[in-house]
Structure 1
Amino acid sequence: MNEAHLEENLRLILDLGRVHEVAEGRINGRAAGVLLMPPYRTDIADFVEPGRNVIEVALTPVLHNRLVGYGETGDPRWGQFQNRNGLAPTGLIGPARLLPHWRERI
């Protein structure tokens, strides 16, 4: 990101598109927000620096998938989760985009 792009009235929106379930954004190692539901968007302008930037997204899937996995182990403690209707969708489906947004005073 060059310095000319970092105008005071420019906001940068990280739009993750479609996500199953929770996403946590980090920009240059700094926590930039936890996104719990659509729209999976957050303003990252305050975290972006001139030069190279690193965007990381960590996802937390639904508990259902973990429990189904336990059920498939054959352990009787998790038997109630055996042969469920498969796994729930999980992950970052996208498309992930950076959207410029200019704020104007009226």
Structure 2
Amino acid sequence: MRTEAGRTAVDLHLEAFGSAFILLRPAGAETVHGAASQLDMLEQKVALEGPWEITFDGDNQSPPPLTLSAPALWSGPGADAHGRDVKYFSGTATYRHTFTADPAALGAGRRLVLDLGDVSDLAVVRLNGKEAGTVWTHPFRINITAAVRAGSNDLEIAVTNAWWNRLAGDAAAGDHTRPGAAIFEADADVLPAGIRGPVRLTVQMS
């Protein structure tokens, strides 16, 4: 904080789509950051490595489950190997993973934040059966301090994408019975869907 030409100036660095509250007082200024901006904390990041299991739930769609060594898109560039039903899936896919939390990371003065990296399009996070939060824009991070426990933790990330891929799949199959499919070309590209990652557990220490 500084004074310039009779005005108070505060330098801020925010994540994309980040925000902050600035409280100005006669004796100075205080910046209160939201979860999107914790730049004054030291961070320790641990990647949540596989296996990750993915199950699909969509209207009249039943792709087989997938097991991946790391979280990845189910549709989009590089995802054709998962098969046609997965490529054109629109609905909710749930990523499941079990990780171990070090008791030392749960001490006083520490926050545990789940960083999903990048998501298409919306993700609901549940940890040990408790809903921890929903994210749909950068940064794809959720504070999981209240839900995490020492030892084994069961993580579920339910990702929902738009209806585009299902309509593109209908057009590719020559099926125009679903409203909207008729406007798609048979070779229409699909949109990325799922978690790009990397998924990391971030321990923040004040």
Q: Which runs of 5+ in 1 are unaligned?
A: none
- Measure, in 2, the Cα distance between the counterparts of 1:75 and 1:17: 35
- Secondary structure of 2:114's match? strand
Q: Deviations over 1:54-106 (max 9, x none)?
A: 11212112221122122233233332223363101122111110010123xxx
TM-score between both structures, scaled by the size of structure 1: 0.83
Answer 1 or 2: which has greater strand percent: 2
Q: How many residues align?
A: 103
Which of 171, 179, 188 pairs up with 1:85? Answer: 188
Given candidates 153, 157, 168, the residue that maps to 1:53 is 153
Give yes or no for contact 2:168–2:188 (8 Å, CA) kept in 1: no
The answer as to 2:102 corresponding to 1:102 is: no
Question: Deviation string for 1:14-54 (max 9, x for gaps)?
Answer: 00112221111110111111111111001101001122111
Whichever structure has more helix as a proportion of its residues is: 1
Instruction: Specify the alignment match of 1:21 in structure 2.
Output: 121
1:67 counterpart = 2:167: yes
Mean alpha-carbon deviation: is it higher for 31-40 or for 84-93?
Answer: 84-93
Return the TM-score normalized by structure 2. Answer: 0.46
Q: Whose Rg is larger? A: 2
The answer to whether the 8 Å contact 2:172/2:187 transfers is no
> Alpha-carbon deviation of 1:12?
0.5
- Distance change (3 Å), C-alpha of 1:76 and 1:2: closer
* Alpha carbons 2:119, 2:136 under 8 Å: kept: no
- The structure 2 residue matched to 1:40, chosen from 134, 137, 140, is 140
Aligned-partner residue type, residue 131 of structure 2: A
* Aligned-partner residue type, residue 85 of structure 1: A
Unaligned runs of 5+ in 2: 1-100
Q: Which has the higher contact order (CA 8 A, sep 6+)?
A: 1
User: What letter matches 2:149 in structure 1?
Assistant: E
* Aligned equivalents of 1:9, 1:15: Cα separation in 2: 19
Identity of aligned residues (%): 36
